[in-house]
Amino acid sequence: MKYDVEFKPKAVRDIEGFSPRIQGRILAGIEEMSEDLKGDVDVKRLTDFTPEYRLRVGDYRVLFEIEGETIIIYRIRHRREAYR
């Protein structure tokens, strides 16, 4: 199932702060995730945390929710800062 991807303003600011190499890796991971959530992507449902899911891309975490056929990305942070 193909999902639409929506970025919140904070997620856009987060990704703009990374180097072009890291941006490419993160965007490739998001693209792969939007194609198939159950494929080779490292997606995990979070407990007691909002947003509900995270995608791991190296040392970075993409925090998102799924609403219908849309993935809403809230934040993209380094793993040491992602869950604060």
Q: List, for residues 2-34, the tens digit of each pLDDT value.
A: 999 999 999 999 999 999 999 999 999 999 999
Question: pLDDT value at position 74?
Answer: 96
Class for the domain spanning 4-78: alpha beta
- Return the CA Rg of the chain: 12
Q: What are the residue boundaries of the structural domains of the chain, listed by start?
A: 4-78
- pTM score > 0.85 for this model? yes
First to last CA, the chain: 32
pLDDT for residue 59 is more than 90: yes
